[in-house]
Amino acid sequence: MSPGASWRAEYEVVLDSQQQLMTLRYNAVVQATGEGLYDVALTLSSVAPRHGAAEPQLEPWRLSPTSPKIECPHMLMLMSTTDGSVKGSAPSIEAAAVSETMGMVNFTVPSRRTLRGDGSKLRVPLTVMQWKADVSYSTVPSVTEAVFATAVCTNADEYQLLPGDATVILDGNFVANTCLTRTAPGEKLSIPFGVDSSIEVRRKLQERYTTNMKTNLFNRASRQRLLLAYATTLTNTKSQETVTVTVQERIPKSNEQKLTVRLLEPKTDVMDWTDERQRRLEVDGVVEMQVTLKPGAIVTVPFAFEVEAPIDAHIYGL
């Protein structure tokens, strides 16, 4: 075992949205400090260091509104090489032989490598995986006029994915960098693939007006009603793929009894309105609508609500 060497997992994740096929290239980034390692056989292991003799010391527990960067150091062991092969029809590489025992993953690299002692990084391909993916699409047009793709797949291989940085590519186009979490065999893995530009979104304000309501015996207006109506147009420019897009809107919420908010469109009694959607509407004011788009289809989704308030009230937040 080399104490001056370490490695971390790194991935390239490629999604073919039409075939709903995800290819995951599993790589290792290896580096050594101190003494260099020349023409050596590498076995990369996820084994954790042994516990020391002293009890652990508690560090300050700090909260942050942003996610910290996940560091993924692992121990590096030097052993003999073993030939390996990639299962399935994934693109072939000189794959490392993989074994897993008691949660510890070992990758035996098939060719000898040289690690410089100056801390420079060496990228080593380990294996390639291919899984079928369930691709879902969603949009929040009031925030951004874009449709986002998310792929969910199951780790169908016999060993776990280690935490590591990942480059995400959708239909041949670079999307973003993300970080994969530890995923055991049989567990589901959800990866955001960013904006799918082949599904276009346009949201327009159709109506906004206020009317006075006469609700007393003297025929005087005592209440006002503000109506807002929007139309979101979705266009599927894909030539062969039918997609289902979840459109999310929201109505305002208020703790004031003098204010009443009513959802006008969509009508919840004529659409597939589940208990979960009803809960999100009542608690958070979130309205979810599912729209199916055939290739080349254009669909307009209406959304409208009204706010009722006393005639002399100033409604803030709209």
Residues 251 and 285: beta-carbon distance below 8 Å: yes
Residues 132 and 20: beta-carbon distance below 8 Å: yes
Name the β-bridge partners of 287. Answer: 249
Give phi and psi for 139, each to the nearest 5: -145, 145
Number of H helices, E strands in the chain: 1, 20
Distance CA 230, CA 99 (A): 56
Output the pTM of the full model. 0.72
Helix (H, G, I), strand (E, B) or coil at 211: strand
HSE-up (13 A, CA, CB side) for residue 235 = 8
215-221: Cβ within 8 A, 24+ apart? 221/311
Residues 27 and 8: beta-carbon distance below 8 Å: no
Amino acid 137: pLDDT: 95
Distances (CA, A) of 249 to 19, 57, 220, 284: 30, 47, 35, 11
Question: How far from the centroid of its chain's Cα atoms is residue 112's Cα?
Answer: 37
Averages of pLDDT over runs of 10 residues in the chain (318 residues) are 74 92 91 72 65 45 50 48 37 57 70 74 87 94 93 90 92 90 92 92 94 68 87 96 94 84 84 78 88 96 92 76
Please give the DSSP secondary-structure letter assigned to residue 271. Answer: S
Residue ranges of domains in the chain: 5-48+72-131+162-176, 199-310
Amino acid 21: pLDDT: 94
Distances (CA, A) of 127 to 27, 68, 183: 7, 28, 16
In sequence order, the 6+-apart residues with CB closer than 8 A to the CB of 167 are 11, 12, 13, 174, 177
Which amino acid is residue 285, in one-letter code?
G
Give phi and psi for 296, each to the nearest 5: 80, 0
